[in-house]
Amino acid sequence: MPYAAPSIRSCGCVVASGERCQHMIARDRERKARHDAQRPTARERGYDSKWREVREQFLKANPHCAMCGNPATVVDHIIPHRGGKCLFWHLPNLQPLCMPCHSSRKQSQEKRR
């Protein structure tokens, strides 16, 4: 049962409460594509063969997710490095995470900061 009446968006679409119209979805898709086109490649951001070696060693030493205890597959920077090489290579700034925790919990924590 809906908890609020449908709303009329600026594009003229009538959308149920909590939903998004196709125009909003398309607009977000275009905005994200523009952002990704300007973003440097992973190699340019520092994720190269040296990083892969450090990542493998770190995951061998820390095989479990720091948030849920499941097997870790991702090495995450606790404080985002934003391109800073000192923070990028600072080992105490790394934590092992599983992909679900990295893709949901961690990102929602960073958005709240």
pTM reported for the whole predicted model: 0.70
**Average of per-residue pLDDT across 46-70:** 95
Domain that holds residue 105: 49-112
**What is the rounded distance in angstroms from the CA atom of residue 105 to the CA atom of residue 67?**
9
Number of domains comprising the chain = 2
* Portion of the chain with pLDDT greater than 90, in percent: 66
Q: Tell me: the pLDDT tens digits for 5-27?
A: 888 888 889 998 888 999 999 99
Residues 97 and 71 in one domain: yes
Q: Would residue 73 count as lying in a domain?
A: yes
Residues 23 and 65 in one domain: no
Residue 47's closest CA among 78, 75, 19?
A: 75
CA 50 to chain centroid: 22
Q: Would residue 71 count as lying in a domain?
A: yes
